[in-house]
């Protein structure tokens, strides 16, 4: 059982709540234009590093003729995905040693995974399992815009708490997170180096602004609560990553303070007191051919 990522790096709530928004059906056309797949075909699609399964679930809805398989090496993500996203085959597996024969898939896809895996393995394995002329899609989140509402401002106690977290945080090296970061210029060069041709890049802007009237109340709550869950997951993880520096009481206090602030934001939303906080992700898509 491997649950390193879900326990120490990013919790299930964080990845599932944020990705359910990022891959919400309202953005489907933007992604489909970038993916440029032949929808009439019964495509065999493999998602690499699927986490709790939100993108795989979206692919199943957006390409109903396709057969979607998704792998991740974190057992907890795979358990959760199997329970919550129907119509996809989720398998616990390592992207550097995929349990599939050569020339099996028409499409491989990943979201925010390339930066964590050695490029020779990441691309090498996808090249191997793709059929000739198969399509490799690599999605990554670039610099976006995050503007938080005033009610989330940190008080002095919270400021000290987060400074202490920063001081002792060594999770990037300890859990091999983002060991292969690359710029928008480097990404296609590396993809070509490892055997892909006809590479195209494109960008989708995913704008999540709860006060924007184009979002339903349910979506606005989901946007606010995705940030709440991400913060709470981050706080909870400290009990595993740096137990020597934080007591359970400290963690519970920060969680309570965090919840109070997000409750306030929901209250403002319900009263129509617009804050115009906004979370804009810029998703880069690379498309290469085997
Ligand atoms: C930033 S998360 C992204 C998860 C998911 N794609 C999403 O967007 O929610 C990176 C994921 O890559 C997975 N991962 C990292 N190295 C892996 C490997 N060698 N094999 C399989 N999965 C891996 C982690 O378990 C984690 O789920």
Helix count and strand count (H, E) for the chain: 11, 7
CA distances from 143 to 11, 146, 174, 224 (A): 22, 10, 24, 20
What CA–CA distance (Å, rounded) separates 194 from 192?
5
Q: State the distance between the two ends of the chain, measured CA to CA, in whole angstroms.
A: 33
Closest residue by Cα to residue 17 from 214, 212, 161, 225: 225
Write the residue with the smallest CA distance to atom 23 of ligand 1. 49
Q: Residue for token digits 């489907």?
A: 28
**Among 116, 121, 175, which is best to mutate for testing ligand 1, by the most ligand atoms less than 8 A from CB?**
116
| Domain spanning 4-289: CATH superfamily | Vaccinia Virus protein VP39 (3.40.50.150)
Q: Residue 174: what pLDDT? A: 87
Helix (H, G, I), strand (E, B) or coil at 1: coil
Residue in this structure with the two tokens 């009990």, named with its chain if needed: 239
User: How many whole angstroms from 116 Cα to the centroid of ligand 1?
Assistant: 8
Low-confidence residues of the chain: pLDDT under 70: none
Give the length of the chain. 290
Pocket test for ligand 1, best of 12, 17, 45, 51 (most atoms within 8 A of CB): 51
Q: How many CA atoms lie within 13 A of 111 on its CB side?
A: 24
pLDDT at site 172: 82
- What is the reported pLDDT for 176? 83
Task: Tell me the whole-structure pTM to 2 decimals.
Answer: 0.96
Inter-helix orientation angle 217-241/248-271, to 10°:
170
162-209 pLDDT tens trace: 999 999 988 888 888 999 999 999 999 999 999 999 999 999 999 999
* Nearest-atom index, ligand 1, CA of 16: 9
Q: For strand 89-92 and strand 67-72, is the pairing parallel, antiparallel, or unpaired?
A: parallel
What pLDDT is attached to residue 149? 97
pLDDT of residue 51: 98
Task: Give the pLDDT confidence score for residue 39 in this predicted structure.
Answer: 93
């Amino acid at each position: 059982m491997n649950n390193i990522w879900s326990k120490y790096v990013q919790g299930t709530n964080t990845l599932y709540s944020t990705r359910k928004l990022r891959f919400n059906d309202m953005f489907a056309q933007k992604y489909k234009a970038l993916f440029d797949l032949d929808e009439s075909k019964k495509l065999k699609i493999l998602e690499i590093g699927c986490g709790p399964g939100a993108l795989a679930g979206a692919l199943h809805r957006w390409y109903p003729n396709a057969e979607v398989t998704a792998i991740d090496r974190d057992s907890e993500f795979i358990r959760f995905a199997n329970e919550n996203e129907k119509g996809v085959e989720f398998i616990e597996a390592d992207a550097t040693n995929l349990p599939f024969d050569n020339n099996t898939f028409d499409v491989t896809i990943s979201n925010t995974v390339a930066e964590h895996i050695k490029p020779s393995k990441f691309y090498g394995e996808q090249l191997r399992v793709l059929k000739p002329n198969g399509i490799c899609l690599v999605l990554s989140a670039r610099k976006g815009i995050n503007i938080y509402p005033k009610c989330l401002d940190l008080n002095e106690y919270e400021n000290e708490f987060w400074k202490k977290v920063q001081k002792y945080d060594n999770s990037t090296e300890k859990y091999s997170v983002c060991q292969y970061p690359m710029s928008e210029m480097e990404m296609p060069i590396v993809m070509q180096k490892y055997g892909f041709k006809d590479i195209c890049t494109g960008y989708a802007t995913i704008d999540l602004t709860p006060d924007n009237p184009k979002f339903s109340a349910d979506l606005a709550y989901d946007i606010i609560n995705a940030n709440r869950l991400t913060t709470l997951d981050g706080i909870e993880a400290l009990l595993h990553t740096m137990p020597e520096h934080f007591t359970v009481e400290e963690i519970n206090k920060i969680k309570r303070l965090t919840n109070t602030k997000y409750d306030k934001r929901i209250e403002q939303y319900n009263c129509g007191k617009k804050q115009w906080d906004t979370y804009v992700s810029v998703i880069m898509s690379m498309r290469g051919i085997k």
